[in-house]
A and B are shown apart, each in its own frame.
Chain A
Amino acid sequence: MKPEHEAWLRLREHAASQLSPGFPDRVLRAARADPSPLFVTQFAMCIATAALCLFGVLLFHAQGSAADEASNRAGWSEISAQASDLDQGL
């Protein structure tokens, strides 16, 4: 018999002593309860949240860019109008 053999037996005994009375009934109750969300579900929720945040950032950025572009266009139109007025004046 290997020297560790006795130790393995003790290990199992010790581990078994950690189970409190009524363990099988508690397991059965837990098994009947609603299953906790799967990792895949949790991961999908994370991806969906990240996608929503990214969409929000892009939308905010796009709106900001559009406003900047409109203001730049207006500025350039004004400069262009002033330049053509000056041309006509010459």
Chain B
Amino acid sequence: MRELIVAYQRRVAGFAYAITGRSDSVEDLAQMVFVKMARALGRLKAPEQFESWLFRLARNTCIDHLRRQKLRRIFTPFAPEHENVPEPDGAVDSEELDALRHALDQLRPKDRALLALVQEGRSHAEIAETCRTSVAAVKARLHRAREELRQHYHRDET
């Protein structure tokens, strides 16, 4: 189990960061994903699908986290200055990363998750299964998300 965590921790952390855009929640989210993995690994029927299963777990955990955060804000609304707390000093150390982070921030969480799944090498069929949709729908959404990301990325870069 420890070996699995060591092998995937960097990728899962990157995946969570791409979806949430917050450095300060990366470790908590990665921990939640691996705890869920550790508890549910015994129920995984097809070990060859481990990676796909792990990233499905990670995607759902991140989307749930954002949903809970949104719900919490309905009951305890933030003051305007707390709505967009900037990343801590030194959190973003390159312009490229900053541009990508800002570009991702303009997309919907589900589209960010889609792009992050592609970055993790998931096939269209695996993504379709993860998102419970068709391959055609994944291709269409992916095309739109890539276009949107590219536009925002280049706008931020210039």
A residues adjacent to B (C-beta < 8 A): 3-4, 6-8, 10-16, 18-20, 23-28, 30-31, 35
State which of A14, A15, A24 has its C-beta within 8 Å of the C-beta of B6. Answer: A24
Interface size for chain B: under 10, 10 to 19, 20 to 34, or 35 or more residues?
A: 35 or more
Shortest beta-carbon distance from B91 to chain A in Å: 8
Q: Which A residues touch B23, using CB under 8 A? A: 14-15, 18
- Cβ–Cβ < 8 Å partners of B101 in chain A: 11
Do B34 and A27 have beta carbons less than 8 Å apart? yes
Q: Does B27 contact A (CB under 8 A)?
A: yes
- With most chain B CB atoms within 10 A of its CB, the pick from A6, A7, A28 is A7
Residues of B within 8 A of A (CB): 1-2, 5-6, 9-11, 13-18, 23-24, 26-27, 30-31, 34-35, 38-39, 91-94, 96-97, 99-101, 119, 149-150, 153-154
The residue that B30 contacts in the complex, of A6, A11, A19, with Cβ under 8 A, is A19
> Smallest distance from the beta carbon of B68 to chain A beta carbons, Å?
10
Shortest distance between the CB of B156 and any CB in chain A (Å): 10
Q: DSSP class of B's interface residues: helix, strand, loop or mixed?
A: helix
Number of A-B contacts (CB under 8 A): 95
A28 touches B27 (CB 8 A): no
What's the nearest-Cβ distance from chain A to residue B92, in Å? 7
Some 21 contacts from A to B, beta carbons below 8 A apart, are: A4-B96, A4-B149, A4-B150, A7-B96, A10-B100, A12-B17, A14-B17, A14-B93, A15-B13, A15-B14, A15-B15, A16-B10, A16-B13, A18-B17, A19-B9, A19-B10, A23-B5, A27-B5, A27-B34, A28-B38, A31-B34
Central interface residue in B5, B13, B94, B150, by most chain A CB within 10 Å: B13
With A18-B23, A24-B5 known to touch, is A10 a contact of B30 (CB < 8 Å)?
no
